[in-house]
Amino acid sequence: MKFIPYGRQDVSREDIEAVVAVLKSDYLTQGPAIESFEKAVCLEAGASHAIACSNGTAALHLACLAADLQAGDMAVTSAITFVASANCARYVGAEVRFADIDPETLTISPLSCRRILEKAQSEGRPVKVVVTVDFAGHPCDMQAFAQLKKEFGFVWIQDACHSIGATWEDSQGIRWKVGEWPSPDMTVLSFHPVKHITTGEGGMILTHDDRLAHRLRLLRTHGITRDPAEFENKSEALAADGSVNPWYYEMQQLGFNYRLTDIQAALGESQLHRLAAGIVRRREIVAAYEARLGRHPHIAFPKVADGVWHAYHLAVALIDFDSAGKSRAAVMNHLREAGIGTQVHYIPVPLMPFYAAASDSADYPSALVYYRKALSLPCFPQLTDADVARICSVLEVALA
Protein backbone atom coordinates (compact mmCIF):
# COMPACT_ATOMS: atom_id res chain seq x y z
CA MET A 1 0.00 0.00 0.00
CA LYS A 2 1.46 3.37 -0.97
CA PHE A 3 1.87 5.86 1.85
CA ILE A 4 -0.16 9.06 1.42
CA PRO A 5 1.66 12.05 2.93
CA TYR A 6 -0.25 15.21 3.93
CA GLY A 7 1.33 17.03 1.00
CA ARG A 8 3.71 16.29 -1.83
CA GLN A 9 5.16 17.69 -5.02
CA ASP A 10 3.99 16.89 -8.52
CA VAL A 11 6.88 16.72 -11.01
CA SER A 12 5.97 16.06 -14.65
CA ARG A 13 8.02 14.91 -17.63
CA GLU A 14 7.92 18.51 -18.94
CA ASP A 15 9.35 19.75 -15.61
CA ILE A 16 12.22 17.28 -15.85
CA GLU A 17 12.91 18.25 -19.47
CA ALA A 18 13.00 21.95 -18.48
CA VAL A 19 15.54 21.20 -15.74
CA VAL A 20 17.66 19.03 -18.04
CA ALA A 21 17.71 21.83 -20.64
CA VAL A 22 19.25 24.17 -18.04
CA LEU A 23 21.75 21.51 -16.96
CA LYS A 24 22.91 21.32 -20.60
CA SER A 25 23.07 25.12 -20.94
CA ASP A 26 25.84 27.60 -20.14
CA TYR A 27 24.36 28.81 -16.85
CA LEU A 28 23.41 26.83 -13.77
CA THR A 29 22.96 30.01 -11.73
CA GLN A 30 22.69 33.75 -12.49
CA GLY A 31 21.54 32.92 -16.01
CA PRO A 32 18.39 33.72 -17.99
CA ALA A 33 16.06 31.17 -16.33
CA ILE A 34 15.77 33.27 -13.16
CA GLU A 35 14.53 36.38 -14.96
CA SER A 36 12.19 34.29 -17.08
CA PHE A 37 10.68 32.66 -13.94
CA GLU A 38 10.39 36.04 -12.22
CA LYS A 39 8.57 37.50 -15.25
CA ALA A 40 6.25 34.49 -15.43
CA VAL A 41 5.27 34.79 -11.74
CA CYS A 42 4.78 38.56 -12.12
CA LEU A 43 2.42 37.92 -14.99
CA GLU A 44 0.57 35.14 -13.15
CA ALA A 45 0.20 37.14 -9.91
CA GLY A 46 -0.25 40.60 -11.43
CA ALA A 47 2.78 42.01 -9.58
CA SER A 48 5.20 44.64 -10.92
CA HIS A 49 8.44 43.07 -9.67
CA ALA A 50 9.46 39.59 -8.56
CA ILE A 51 12.72 38.76 -6.78
CA ALA A 52 13.46 35.03 -6.65
CA CYS A 53 15.28 33.80 -3.52
CA SER A 54 16.78 30.61 -2.18
CA ASN A 55 13.71 29.90 0.01
CA GLY A 56 10.69 31.60 1.56
CA THR A 57 12.52 32.23 4.83
CA ALA A 58 15.33 34.06 3.01
CA ALA A 59 12.65 36.04 1.16
CA LEU A 60 11.07 37.06 4.50
CA HIS A 61 14.49 38.02 5.87
CA LEU A 62 15.20 40.18 2.80
CA ALA A 63 11.75 41.77 3.11
CA CYS A 64 12.50 42.75 6.74
CA LEU A 65 15.88 44.20 5.71
CA ALA A 66 14.30 46.14 2.84
CA ALA A 67 11.67 47.44 5.29
CA ASP A 68 14.57 48.77 7.37
CA LEU A 69 13.45 46.76 10.38
CA GLN A 70 16.22 46.96 12.96
CA ALA A 71 17.29 45.99 16.46
CA GLY A 72 14.89 47.45 19.01
CA ASP A 73 12.03 47.82 16.48
CA MET A 74 8.77 45.94 16.89
CA ALA A 75 7.07 43.56 14.45
CA VAL A 76 3.75 41.70 14.62
CA THR A 77 2.74 38.41 13.05
CA SER A 78 0.13 35.71 13.55
CA ALA A 79 0.26 33.23 16.44
CA ILE A 80 -0.67 30.51 13.93
CA THR A 81 1.97 30.31 11.24
CA PHE A 82 5.25 28.63 10.47
CA VAL A 83 8.05 29.94 12.70
CA ALA A 84 9.73 31.70 9.74
CA SER A 85 7.05 34.46 9.76
CA ALA A 86 8.33 35.51 13.18
CA ASN A 87 11.99 34.52 12.89
CA CYS A 88 12.56 36.93 9.98
CA ALA A 89 12.03 39.86 12.39
CA ARG A 90 14.34 38.29 14.98
CA TYR A 91 17.09 37.88 12.34
CA VAL A 92 17.38 41.67 12.22
CA GLY A 93 17.13 42.02 15.99
CA ALA A 94 13.52 43.24 16.17
CA GLU A 95 11.03 42.13 18.82
CA VAL A 96 7.98 40.10 17.81
CA ARG A 97 4.41 40.34 19.13
CA PHE A 98 1.84 37.70 18.21
CA ALA A 99 -1.67 38.60 17.10
CA ASP A 100 -4.54 36.15 17.52
CA ILE A 101 -6.32 34.49 14.59
CA ASP A 102 -9.83 34.99 13.33
CA PRO A 103 -11.59 31.89 14.75
CA GLU A 104 -13.55 31.37 11.52
CA THR A 105 -10.99 31.80 8.72
CA LEU A 106 -7.88 31.11 10.90
CA THR A 107 -6.06 34.04 9.29
CA ILE A 108 -4.42 36.78 11.38
CA SER A 109 -7.07 38.84 13.16
CA PRO A 110 -7.10 42.57 12.28
CA LEU A 111 -8.88 43.27 15.58
CA SER A 112 -6.18 41.60 17.65
CA CYS A 113 -3.50 43.27 15.54
CA ARG A 114 -5.14 46.67 16.14
CA ARG A 115 -4.93 46.13 19.90
CA ILE A 116 -1.20 45.44 19.65
CA LEU A 117 -0.66 48.44 17.36
CA GLU A 118 -2.54 50.77 19.72
CA LYS A 119 -0.70 49.50 22.79
CA ALA A 120 2.69 49.81 21.10
CA GLN A 121 1.87 53.33 19.95
CA SER A 122 0.71 54.37 23.43
CA GLU A 123 4.03 53.05 24.81
CA GLY A 124 5.93 55.22 22.31
CA ARG A 125 7.22 52.21 20.33
CA PRO A 126 5.13 52.08 17.17
CA VAL A 127 5.15 48.79 15.28
CA LYS A 128 7.42 49.04 12.25
CA VAL A 129 6.45 45.86 10.35
CA VAL A 130 3.35 43.65 10.24
CA VAL A 131 3.75 40.20 8.67
CA THR A 132 0.23 39.02 7.83
CA VAL A 133 -0.31 35.33 7.09
CA ASP A 134 -2.63 33.88 4.44
CA PHE A 135 -3.09 30.74 6.48
CA ALA A 136 -3.71 27.50 4.53
CA GLY A 137 -4.25 29.51 1.32
CA HIS A 138 -6.99 31.88 2.55
CA PRO A 139 -5.94 35.52 1.98
CA CYS A 140 -6.13 37.49 5.22
CA ASP A 141 -8.65 40.35 5.55
CA MET A 142 -6.79 42.51 3.03
CA GLN A 143 -8.91 45.64 3.31
CA ALA A 144 -8.82 45.61 7.10
CA PHE A 145 -5.02 45.44 7.05
CA ALA A 146 -4.85 48.18 4.40
CA GLN A 147 -6.89 50.36 6.79
CA LEU A 148 -4.56 49.51 9.71
CA LYS A 149 -1.54 50.35 7.55
CA LYS A 150 -3.10 53.73 6.72
CA GLU A 151 -3.75 54.47 10.41
CA PHE A 152 -0.51 53.15 11.91
CA GLY A 153 2.00 53.54 9.07
CA PHE A 154 3.78 50.18 9.31
CA VAL A 155 5.45 48.32 6.45
CA TRP A 156 3.15 45.49 5.40
CA ILE A 157 4.78 42.16 4.50
CA GLN A 158 2.18 39.68 3.30
CA ASP A 159 3.35 36.13 4.01
CA ALA A 160 1.64 34.44 1.06
CA CYS A 161 3.69 31.25 1.29
CA HIS A 162 0.37 29.32 1.30
CA SER A 163 -1.69 31.44 -1.06
CA ILE A 164 -0.19 31.84 -4.53
CA GLY A 165 -3.11 31.56 -6.93
CA ALA A 166 -5.77 32.60 -4.37
CA THR A 167 -7.99 35.59 -5.12
CA TRP A 168 -10.32 37.82 -3.09
CA GLU A 169 -12.93 40.46 -3.85
CA ASP A 170 -12.88 44.00 -2.47
CA SER A 171 -15.92 45.95 -1.27
CA GLN A 172 -16.39 47.37 -4.78
CA GLY A 173 -16.61 43.89 -6.23
CA ILE A 174 -13.16 44.00 -7.85
CA ARG A 175 -11.34 40.67 -7.75
CA TRP A 176 -7.62 40.69 -6.89
CA LYS A 177 -5.00 38.01 -7.18
CA VAL A 178 -2.54 37.51 -4.32
CA GLY A 179 0.38 39.75 -5.29
CA GLU A 180 -1.72 42.09 -7.45
CA TRP A 181 -3.17 44.56 -4.96
CA PRO A 182 -0.68 47.36 -4.26
CA SER A 183 -1.39 47.90 -0.55
CA PRO A 184 0.97 45.22 0.86
CA ASP A 185 4.51 46.55 0.44
CA MET A 186 5.89 43.08 -0.23
CA THR A 187 4.30 39.68 -0.78
CA VAL A 188 6.38 36.61 0.01
CA LEU A 189 6.04 33.18 -1.63
CA SER A 190 7.58 29.77 -0.86
CA PHE A 191 8.31 27.00 -3.34
CA HIS A 192 8.97 24.23 -0.83
CA PRO A 193 7.83 20.81 -2.17
CA VAL A 194 4.57 20.75 -0.19
CA LYS A 195 3.53 24.13 -1.66
CA HIS A 196 1.48 24.71 -4.84
CA ILE A 197 4.53 24.90 -7.07
CA THR A 198 8.03 23.85 -6.13
CA THR A 199 11.64 24.57 -6.96
CA GLY A 200 12.94 22.12 -4.32
CA GLU A 201 13.83 24.96 -1.99
CA GLY A 202 12.84 28.41 -3.22
CA GLY A 203 10.97 31.60 -2.54
CA MET A 204 10.08 34.94 -4.04
CA ILE A 205 9.17 38.48 -3.09
CA LEU A 206 6.55 40.34 -5.14
CA THR A 207 6.24 44.11 -4.96
CA HIS A 208 4.86 47.10 -6.85
CA ASP A 209 7.48 49.40 -5.34
CA ASP A 210 10.47 50.12 -7.66
CA ARG A 211 12.67 51.27 -4.77
CA LEU A 212 12.03 48.17 -2.68
CA ALA A 213 12.59 45.91 -5.70
CA HIS A 214 15.96 47.51 -6.34
CA ARG A 215 16.97 47.17 -2.68
CA LEU A 216 15.84 43.55 -2.52
CA ARG A 217 17.89 42.65 -5.61
CA LEU A 218 21.00 44.22 -4.08
CA LEU A 219 20.50 42.48 -0.74
CA ARG A 220 19.92 39.13 -2.46
CA THR A 221 23.44 39.24 -3.95
CA HIS A 222 25.80 40.38 -1.18
CA GLY A 223 24.76 44.06 -1.49
CA ILE A 224 26.83 44.20 -4.68
CA THR A 225 26.00 46.40 -7.66
CA ARG A 226 27.51 46.16 -11.14
CA ASP A 227 25.57 49.15 -12.47
CA PRO A 228 28.06 51.94 -13.36
CA ALA A 229 25.39 54.57 -12.76
CA GLU A 230 25.30 53.56 -9.08
CA PHE A 231 29.02 53.40 -8.37
CA GLU A 232 30.06 55.59 -5.46
CA ASN A 233 33.84 55.24 -5.71
CA LYS A 234 34.33 56.79 -9.16
CA SER A 235 38.13 56.94 -8.93
CA GLU A 236 38.28 53.13 -8.60
CA ALA A 237 35.46 52.50 -11.03
CA LEU A 238 36.68 54.60 -13.93
CA ALA A 239 39.80 54.43 -16.10
CA ALA A 240 41.69 57.59 -17.09
CA ASP A 241 39.65 57.86 -20.31
CA GLY A 242 36.40 57.78 -18.31
CA SER A 243 35.43 54.23 -19.30
CA VAL A 244 34.33 51.79 -16.59
CA ASN A 245 37.03 49.37 -15.45
CA PRO A 246 35.95 45.91 -16.71
CA TRP A 247 36.53 44.07 -13.39
CA TYR A 248 34.83 46.61 -11.22
CA TYR A 249 31.83 46.06 -8.93
CA GLU A 250 30.86 47.65 -5.67
CA MET A 251 29.49 46.29 -2.41
CA GLN A 252 27.38 49.05 -0.92
CA GLN A 253 25.34 47.25 1.75
CA LEU A 254 25.68 44.10 3.82
CA GLY A 255 23.77 41.57 1.72
CA PHE A 256 23.56 37.81 1.42
CA ASN A 257 23.77 35.04 -1.14
CA TYR A 258 20.06 34.27 -1.21
CA ARG A 259 19.90 33.55 -4.94
CA LEU A 260 17.83 30.81 -6.57
CA THR A 261 19.66 28.69 -9.18
CA ASP A 262 18.64 28.55 -12.85
CA ILE A 263 18.04 24.81 -12.40
CA GLN A 264 15.42 25.58 -9.76
CA ALA A 265 13.92 28.47 -11.71
CA ALA A 266 13.35 26.23 -14.74
CA LEU A 267 11.49 23.75 -12.54
CA GLY A 268 9.40 26.55 -11.01
CA GLU A 269 8.43 28.10 -14.35
CA SER A 270 7.45 24.72 -15.74
CA GLN A 271 5.36 23.99 -12.63
CA LEU A 272 3.64 27.38 -12.86
CA HIS A 273 1.69 26.17 -15.93
CA ARG A 274 -0.17 23.72 -13.66
CA LEU A 275 -0.83 26.11 -10.75
CA ALA A 276 -4.45 26.94 -11.62
CA ALA A 277 -5.39 23.32 -12.38
CA GLY A 278 -3.72 22.19 -9.15
CA ILE A 279 -5.81 24.62 -7.10
CA VAL A 280 -9.01 23.45 -8.80
CA ARG A 281 -8.13 19.86 -7.82
CA ARG A 282 -7.25 20.89 -4.26
CA ARG A 283 -10.64 22.60 -4.00
CA GLU A 284 -12.37 19.42 -5.18
CA ILE A 285 -10.52 17.39 -2.55
CA VAL A 286 -11.50 19.78 0.26
CA ALA A 287 -15.09 19.86 -0.99
CA ALA A 288 -15.15 16.04 -0.80
CA TYR A 289 -13.77 16.09 2.76
CA GLU A 290 -16.34 18.68 3.80
CA ALA A 291 -19.25 16.87 2.13
CA ARG A 292 -18.50 13.64 3.97
CA LEU A 293 -16.73 14.58 7.19
CA GLY A 294 -18.77 17.75 7.73
CA ARG A 295 -21.62 15.48 8.83
CA HIS A 296 -19.47 13.88 11.53
CA PRO A 297 -20.50 14.99 15.06
CA HIS A 298 -16.90 15.80 16.07
CA ILE A 299 -15.52 17.32 12.86
CA ALA A 300 -15.92 20.84 11.51
CA PHE A 301 -14.09 22.91 8.89
CA PRO A 302 -12.89 26.52 8.83
CA LYS A 303 -15.09 29.11 7.09
CA VAL A 304 -14.19 30.87 3.88
CA ALA A 305 -14.84 34.63 3.81
CA ASP A 306 -17.22 35.96 1.13
CA GLY A 307 -15.48 36.57 -2.18
CA VAL A 308 -12.38 34.50 -1.37
CA TRP A 309 -11.08 31.89 -3.84
CA HIS A 310 -9.18 29.69 -1.39
CA ALA A 311 -5.98 28.09 -2.72
CA TYR A 312 -6.00 25.24 -0.14
CA HIS A 313 -2.32 24.69 0.43
CA LEU A 314 -3.65 22.83 3.48
CA ALA A 315 -6.91 20.96 4.15
CA VAL A 316 -7.40 21.69 7.83
CA ALA A 317 -10.06 19.77 9.76
CA LEU A 318 -11.19 20.99 13.18
CA ILE A 319 -11.69 17.87 15.26
CA ASP A 320 -13.10 17.97 18.76
CA PHE A 321 -10.84 15.22 20.09
CA ASP A 322 -12.08 15.84 23.65
CA SER A 323 -15.75 15.20 22.85
CA ALA A 324 -14.78 12.25 20.63
CA GLY A 325 -12.88 10.80 23.60
CA LYS A 326 -9.75 10.22 21.48
CA SER A 327 -6.35 11.79 21.71
CA ARG A 328 -4.98 13.48 18.61
CA ALA A 329 -1.84 11.38 18.88
CA ALA A 330 -3.91 8.16 18.85
CA VAL A 331 -5.87 9.34 15.79
CA MET A 332 -2.71 10.37 13.93
CA ASN A 333 -1.03 7.06 14.78
CA HIS A 334 -4.09 5.12 13.60
CA LEU A 335 -4.02 7.02 10.30
CA ARG A 336 -0.26 6.50 9.95
CA GLU A 337 -0.62 2.75 10.47
CA ALA A 338 -3.19 2.80 7.65
CA GLY A 339 -0.64 4.56 5.42
CA ILE A 340 -2.03 8.08 5.80
CA GLY A 341 0.08 11.05 6.86
CA THR A 342 -1.40 14.01 8.72
CA GLN A 343 0.17 17.00 10.46
CA VAL A 344 -0.67 19.85 12.80
CA HIS A 345 -0.31 23.31 11.28
CA TYR A 346 0.77 24.80 13.54
CA ILE A 347 1.83 24.70 17.16
CA PRO A 348 1.23 28.37 18.08
CA VAL A 349 4.60 30.06 17.51
CA PRO A 350 4.49 31.95 20.84
CA LEU A 351 4.39 28.57 22.64
CA MET A 352 7.79 27.71 21.18
CA PRO A 353 10.43 27.79 23.94
CA PHE A 354 12.36 30.45 22.02
CA TYR A 355 9.35 32.82 22.13
CA ALA A 356 7.43 31.65 25.22
CA ALA A 357 9.10 33.90 27.78
CA ALA A 358 8.21 37.05 25.82
CA SER A 359 4.56 36.22 25.08
CA ASP A 360 1.31 36.14 27.00
CA SER A 361 -1.16 33.38 26.10
CA ALA A 362 -4.07 35.70 27.02
CA ASP A 363 -3.27 37.57 23.78
CA TYR A 364 -4.18 34.69 21.45
CA PRO A 365 -7.11 32.67 22.88
CA SER A 366 -8.52 31.67 19.47
CA ALA A 367 -5.12 30.32 18.42
CA LEU A 368 -5.07 28.07 21.49
CA VAL A 369 -8.61 26.80 20.88
CA TYR A 370 -7.72 26.14 17.24
CA TYR A 371 -4.51 24.33 18.19
CA ARG A 372 -6.40 21.77 20.29
CA LYS A 373 -8.52 20.81 17.28
CA ALA A 374 -6.26 21.19 14.24
CA LEU A 375 -5.43 18.32 11.93
CA SER A 376 -4.25 18.79 8.34
CA LEU A 377 -5.55 16.01 6.09
CA PRO A 378 -3.73 15.01 2.88
CA CYS A 379 -4.23 17.57 0.13
CA PHE A 380 -2.33 17.59 -3.15
CA PRO A 381 -3.48 17.36 -6.77
CA GLN A 382 -2.53 13.73 -7.44
CA LEU A 383 -4.84 12.40 -4.69
CA THR A 384 -7.59 10.36 -6.31
CA ASP A 385 -11.26 10.36 -5.28
CA ALA A 386 -10.68 6.81 -4.00
CA ASP A 387 -7.76 8.05 -1.84
CA VAL A 388 -9.98 10.76 -0.36
CA ALA A 389 -12.79 8.28 0.36
CA ARG A 390 -10.31 5.94 2.08
CA ILE A 391 -8.85 8.76 4.18
CA CYS A 392 -12.38 9.69 5.31
CA SER A 393 -13.23 6.07 6.19
CA VAL A 394 -10.03 5.54 8.18
CA LEU A 395 -10.53 8.83 10.04
CA GLU A 396 -14.13 7.87 10.90
CA VAL A 397 -12.91 4.54 12.29
CA ALA A 398 -10.10 6.26 14.24
CA LEU A 399 -12.66 8.56 15.89
CA ALA A 400 -15.26 5.82 16.56
Ligand X SMILES: Cc1ncc(COP(=O)(O)O)c(C=O)c1O
Query: Which of 65, 161, 219, 394 contacts ligand X by CB under 6 A?
Result: 161
Q: Which residue, judged by CB position, is nearest to ligand X in the bound state?
A: 56
Q: Which is nearer to ligand X, 80 or 388 (CB)?
A: 80
Closest CB 162 distance from ligand X, rounded Å: 6
> Out of 6, 37, 82, 154, which residue is the one contacting ligand X (CB under 6 A)?
82
Beta strands 129-133; 155-159: pairing state: parallel
Query: Least distance in Å: CB of 25 to ligand X?
Result: 25
C-beta closer to ligand X: residue 167 or 190: 190
Q: Is 268 in the site for ligand X (CB under 6 A)?
A: no
Closer CB to ligand X, residue 165 or residue 394?
Answer: 165
In the range 181-200, which residues lie near ligand X by CB under 6 A?
190, 192
Q: Is 87 in the site for ligand X (CB under 6 A)?
A: no
Check binding of 335 to ligand X (CB under 6 A): no
Binding status of residue 110 toward ligand X by CB under 6 A: no
Q: In a 3-state reduction of DSSP, which class is residue 276?
A: helix
| DSSP strand pairing (95-99 vs 129-133) | unpaired
Query: Applying CB under 6 A, does 261 fall inside the site for ligand X?
Result: no
Q: Which of 96, 171, 107, 172 is nearest to 136 (CA)?
A: 107
- 172-207 CB burial, b ≥16 within 10 A, e <16: eeeebbbbbbeebbbbbbbbbbbbbbbbbbbbbbbb
By residue count, the chain amounts to 400
Q: Rounded distance, CA 279 to CA 288, Å?
A: 14
85 binds ligand X (CB under 6 A): yes
Binding of residue 398 to ligand X (CB under 6 A): no
**Amino acid (one-letter) located at 221:** T
Contact flag: residue 370 with ligand X (CB under 6 A): no
| CA–CA dist 362, 309 (Å, integer) | 32
Candidate list 9, 37, 52, 55; residue touching ligand X; CB under 6 A: 55
User: Can you tell me the distance from the alpha carbon of 350 to that of 364, in angstroms, rounded to the nearest whole number?
Assistant: 9
Least distance to ligand X, CB of residue 372, Å: 20
On whether the CB atoms of residues 309 and 168 are closer than 8 A, the answer is yes
Cβ of residue 37: shortest distance to ligand X, in angstroms? Answer: 15
Backbone angles phi, psi at 30, to 5 degrees: 60, 25
Name 89's Cβ contacts closer than 8 Å, sequence gap at least 6. 64, 69, 75, 77, 95, 96, 129, 131
- Candidates 6, 51, 57, 383; binder of ligand X (CB under 6 A) is 57
For residue 387, how far is the Cα from the chain centroid?
27
- Give the largest Cα separation in the chain, rounded: 84
* Site track 140-159 with ligand X (rule: CB under 6 A), x = hit: -------------------x
Kindly state whether residue 133 participates in binding ligand X, applying the rule CB under 6 A: yes
Could you tell me the smallest distance in angstroms from the CB atom of residue 55 to ligand X?
Answer: 4
The conformation of residue 326, written as its DSSP 8-state character, comes to -
Q: In the bound complex, what is the minimum distance in angstroms from residue 251's beta carbon to ligand X?
A: 25
Minimum CB–partner distance for residue 358 and ligand X (Å): 20
Q: From the CB of 219, what's the least distance to ligand X, in Å?
A: 16
203 is a contact residue toward ligand X (CB under 6 A): yes
Give whichever of 231 and 268 is closer to ligand X, judged by the CB atom: 268
Reduced to 3 states (helix: H, G, I; strand: E, B; else coil), residue 86 is helix
Please list the residues that pair with 204 across neighbouring strands.
52, 189
